[in-house]
Amino acid sequence: MTRVTDNPDHLLSLALGIAVEAAALITDGRRRGLSEVSTKSSATDMVTEYDRLSEQLIVRRILEARPDDGIVGEEGAQTVGSSGIDWVVDPIDGTTNFLYGLAGYAVSIGVRDPDGGLIGVVAVPTSAEVFTARRGGGAFCNGRLVRCSDTVDVGKALVATGFSYDPARRRRQGARIAALIDSIRDIRRFGAAAADLCYAASGRVDAYFEEFLNPWDLAAGEVIARESGCLVSSISGGPVRPASVLVATPGVFGPLRDLIASVDASLDGRATRPRPTA
């Protein structure tokens, strides 16, 4: 039976403590050097011993505090809970950055209740930042309120995106970017979806879109982006899902969605009908 009697602030502080501990673990690992590096879904989809150690730590801490909760994690965690609270964990988002010693990898911990995303915590240790949000409570970076940008002109929008590990999908994504780039300010590819969502939430980019994500890429950052004032949907404008994510500051959201639709239509050789204005 679903039982949700939890105080969201307690869940947030638990998630925050765990994310900070996991971020310290991977930072320390990066400093000492990696010894186990292998591939997963494709030759470019990497996993290290610290992805696994981070997930083990996060799962252990969640179950110590909340044994009845469900957990799903990228590196295999799959616990069915009975409390109505589920944790969705990416132990290192941006593993390629982590592997190369680049900035911007993150620990991403989302908490869901029967109404959807409740808590998001994204720790980015290379910039000593932790983004947090609780549904209805605003979005924060290191405890300071953050808001999305106030950009209204899609032509001046800085847009983050990412590419799938699947070669055919990334070819198509590359073609889309090539067709889009003249109509916006510029593109950023930081390499960690959870951080991309937080950068949209804090106005460091005006929008972010990506396809073929997994639930753990999106769970935490989605709450943070929504709470910052960003609009959030699928790329075609339906409910957001990991397979299709569009997040933008309100003035850019509609025009960017229409721009992507028209680029996709021309890549497919289709004509687009203009959307009726609201």
Q: Which residues are at the interface with Ca ion (CB under 5 A)?
A: 74, 90, 92-93, 217
211 has which bridge partners?
A: 244
Which CA distances in Å does 237 have to 104, 170, 245, 256? 28, 22, 9, 11
Helix (H, G, I), strand (E, B) or coil at 29: helix
Interface of this chain with ligand IPD, residues 80 to 139, rule: CB under 6 A: 90, 93-96
Quote the least distance from Cβ 213 to ligand IPD, whole Å.
5
Quote the least distance from Cβ 61 to Ca ion, whole Å.
18
116 has which bridge partners?
A: 113
Give 90 or 227: the residue with its C-beta nearer to Ca ion.
Answer: 90
162 scored as a contact of ligand IPD (CB under 6 A):
yes
Helix, strand, coil distribution of the chain in percent, nearest 5:
40, 25, 35
Binding partner selected for residue 162 from Ca ion, ligand IPD, none, CB under the kind-specific 5 to 8 Å limit: ligand IPD
193 scored as a contact of ligand IPD (CB under 6 A):
yes
**In the complex, residue closest to Ca ion by CB:** 93
Tokens of 259: 């721009």
What does the per-residue mask of binding to ligand IPD show for 212-251, with x meaning CB under 6 A? -x---x----------------------------------
31-50 burial, b for 16+ CB within 10 Å, e for fewer? Answer: eeeeeeeeeeeeeeebbbeb
Tokens of 247: 């997040």
Give 88 or 113: the residue with its C-beta nearer to ligand IPD.
Answer: 88
Quote the least distance from Cβ 81 to ligand IPD, whole Å.
23
Which CA distances in Å does 187 have to 78, 113, 183, 232? 35, 34, 11, 19
Give 23 or 92: the residue with its C-beta nearer to Ca ion.
Answer: 92
Tokens of 118: 């409740």
- The residue within the footprint of ligand IPD, chosen from 191, 203, 229, 242 (CB under 6 A), is 191
